[in-house]
Structure 1
Amino acid sequence: MRKDDKIKVGISHGDINGISYEIIIKALQDNRLNDSCTPILYGSPKVAAYHRKALDIENFSFNAIRKAEDANPKRANLINVLDDNVRVELGKSTKMAGECSVLALDRMVNDMTNGLIDAMVTAPICKENIQQAGFSFPGHTEYLQKQFNSEEVLMLMVFNELRVGVVTGHIPLKDAPGSLTKDLVYSKIKVLHESLLKDFALSKGKIAVLGLNPHAGDNGIIGTEDRDIIQPAIEKARQEGIMAVGPFPSDGFFGSGGYNQYDAVLAMYHDQGLIPFKVISQGEGVNYTAGLSVVRTSPGHGTAFDIVGKDLGNPASLRNAIYLASDISRNRRVYEEASANPLEKQSFDAGPGDVDISDLESDNAAE
């Protein structure tokens, strides 16, 4: 973790034919971002100019630099990772675009590995064309997990105080129940707990765990996974002092606003968590990869090929991703410094949100 200057946030440009450049430029037009961090785009001045022209944006320019060390803390910086033969085709998925995505991502990860930047924001990629470019991972998360040798990671969606993680991610829905094990659910709870502590400065974070089946199984009447897998995983976490509660029936939990009573929610599968999250966040949510040794966020949406070049892109999610990356980097610095000093660590552990685990209860009743 860098400690010598303002936090440097790298941004990979994602798919050059998608919405990335529009939302990046719109987000970086707000100079208030420079108070929080020093943004560094890994991309192409040629591609940036193409998108600026398509959107008729004249009052913005990047500060071109060769390496992260040269970044101007008061400007939006750009490191060129492409050659001049790059071809932009707005709204189209092309092999060249996939190759450009990989080049930017690899350069940014290399700088992160060498301590030249403090956090990473990944703009949306097209999983189809990036696979054509030889990228052998389902997405950013799996790639970064391998690059930074992380044993367990968690996709965590963040919007203000709402944090929703998922036990099973990008797998077919039919495979989700069979993928659940006590150890897997427990490991995700543990990653989420540690992230609340180190990344969000919540020393006593409260975690709500959702059930898999309707009514959280009704005590085994509607499926046994909630009783035989999820509940034992929660109990194991509680025995270790983790404030995890559940399993909750997801419909009633979100419908009644129960999520407001917790610092984080753990869903069993992708859509169970992301549908209510996206309804609540209204396009402003952020995807954060908890469990990595480095900080990585991304906007909570895809390439949006259908609206590219039409000036319809909303930069809110990308902007929030940059702010969140900066905030988590600062929180990690504080935690690391407190951990290095026993007296400071004691003070850190006595932070807000303290609650006795016995005060937490789960209501698994049917609707």
Structure 2
Amino acid sequence: MSKNQKIVVGISIGDLNGIGSEVVLKTFRDSRMLEFCTPVIFASVKTMSFCKKVFELDDISLHGIDSLDAILHKKINVFNVWKEQPEIKFGEEDKAIGTFAVRSLEAAVSALKDSMIDVLVTAPINKSNVQSEAFNFPGHTDYLAKELGGESLMLLISDELRVGLLTDHVAVKDVSENITRELIEKKINTIHKTLIQDFAISKPKIAVLGLNPHNGDHGVIGTEDDEILEPTLTNLRNNGKMVFGPYAADSFFGSGNYKNFDVVIASYHDQGLVPFKTLAFGSGVNYTAGLSKIRTSPDHGTAYDVAGKNKANPESFEQAVFAAIEIYRKRKEYLKLSKDPLKPLPKRSFAKKK
């Protein structure tokens, strides 16, 4: 991508029976979005034209392409991943529709790896109907970690809050055995690097939530907080990282303590996502930190209950697009400065304005 070109945002279409196609199209209905980036939807023109008609978006123009070399700026590009027309039944869980979600994702990730697109924004999938012998992952994060490399970490972000996870799609009964000193150190190191290179925070302050109620009450309700979390965090602090905790999770958000930190690390999925979605639902973004490439997604799922009713709110998807663009720029700037750390900064003029 040359300096004069816009950031190319690849979009996997997700579950076609959900609200993905609706929020994607509504996001780019505003022509001003095309001033910020160049979208490429991985689906088919025929499929997206059908969705456009369902949602009465006659003012949208789609540019179909069969080669990524044919991407045009200031156009809503649709890369034709398939020729057949999926049988879309909004609001229904369908294994056949799941295969199209996987095909879209695989094509988009391939383009990302080849640098034909700059960032990836994924519309929601149904984690059940995408499963097969060829695609056996609990979600986007695990698949992307395999394909893109790095130490992936689910990070939910909004204007005022960032929440990361030690464990993500792990059954509650298996959480405690998965939280080891090695895992904690790996995740904290990943989030520390992410905040520096992707969010331009030079000295990140990281809060970590305890695993057990009341941090185990000194062993009365569990020993993991005293024996695993606390000594590991102490060691990380001794090595120069501003890591604090473990904090009792039940009062941490209600007290507003989260505002004192750059990120909060939760021990398991719902411990982090319940407060995040309570405080920022509809405007939050899911960012897969720690990868070699940028991927974001909205903070909601397929929303079958409103799918096909022309009621879906595109705000979270819009924010996911903006977040991907912003993170891409900050990482690019960080890598540029890191590559040439002794390069003098531009001189500032301190002359008083007349």
Would you say the 8 A contact 1:186–1:236 is kept in 2? Answer: no
Which residue in 2 is equivalent to 1:239? 238
Which residue in 2 is equivalent to 1:20? 20
How many angstroms does 1:106 deviate by? 1.2
Distance (Å, rounded) in 2 between the aligned partners of 1:217 and 1:2? 54
Secondary structure of the 2:42 match is strand
Distance (Å, rounded) in 2 between the aligned partners of 1:51 and 1:245? 48
Alignment of 1:219-230 (within 5 A): 219-230=218-229
Q: Normalised by the size of structure 2, how large is the TM-score?
A: 0.93
Distance (Å, rounded) in 2 between the aligned partners of 1:61 and 1:172? 44
Which residue in 2 is equivalent to 1:55? 55
After superposing the two structures, state which structure 1 stretch, 134-143 or 276-285, moved more: 134-143
Secondary structure of the 1:127 match is coil
Would you say the 8 A contact 1:285–1:300 is kept in 2? Answer: yes
How many angstroms does 1:70 deviate by? 2.5
Which residue in 2 is equivalent to 1:112? 112
Q: Which runs of 5+ in 1 are unaligned?
A: 348-367
Would you say the 8 A contact 2:215–2:247 is kept in 1? Answer: yes
Amino acid at match of 1:224: T
How many angstroms does 1:149 deviate by? 2.7
Which residue in 2 is equivalent to 1:164? 163
Would you say the 8 A contact 1:99–1:133 is kept in 2? Answer: no
Which residue in 1 is equivalent to 2:40? 40
How many angstroms does 1:297 deviate by? 0.7
Q: Normalised by the size of structure 1, how large is the TM-score?
A: 0.90
How many angstroms does 1:252 deviate by? 1.5
Would you say the 8 A contact 2:288–2:295 is kept in 1? Answer: yes
How many angstroms does 1:270 deviate by? 0.4
Q: Compute the RMSD of aligned alpha carbons.
A: 1.8
Distance (Å, rounded) in 1 between the aligned partners of 2:204 and 2:77? 36
How many angstroms does 1:227 deviate by? 1.2
Question: Are 1:193 and 2:192 matched, yes or no?
Answer: yes
Alignment of 1:152-301 (within 5 A): 152-301=151-300
Secondary structure of the 1:97 match is helix
Aligned length: 346
Distance (Å, rounded) in 2 between the aligned partners of 1:342 and 1:154? 28
Distance 1:275 1:308, change over 3 A: same
Secondary structure of the 1:272 match is helix
Distance (Å, rounded) in 2 between the aligned partners of 1:98 and 1:2? 36
After superposing the two structures, state which structure 1 stretch, 157-166 or 52-61, moved more: 52-61
Would you say the 8 A contact 1:15–1:98 is kept in 2? Answer: yes
Amino acid at match of 2:165: V
How many angstroms does 1:212 deviate by? 1.0
Amino acid at match of 1:49: S
After superposing the two structures, state which structure 1 stretch, 323-332 or 79-88, moved more: 79-88
Alignment of 1:70-149 (within 5 A): 70-132=70-132, 134-149=134-149
**Higher helix fraction (1 or 2):** 1
After superposing the two structures, state which structure 1 stretch, 293-302 or 88-97, moved more: 88-97
Identity of paired residues, percent?
A: 45
Distance (Å, rounded) in 1 between the aligned partners of 2:50 and 2:32? 25
Distance (Å, rounded) in 2 between the aligned partners of 1:205 and 1:2? 32
Q: Which runs of 5+ in 2 are unaligned?
A: 346-354
How many angstroms does 1:95 deviate by? 2.6
Which residue in 2 is equivalent to 1:9? 9
Secondary structure of the 1:77 match is strand
How many angstroms does 1:132 deviate by? 4.1
Distance (Å, rounded) in 1 between the aligned partners of 2:234 and 2:7? 39
Distance (Å, rounded) in 2 between the aligned partners of 1:153 and 1:141? 7
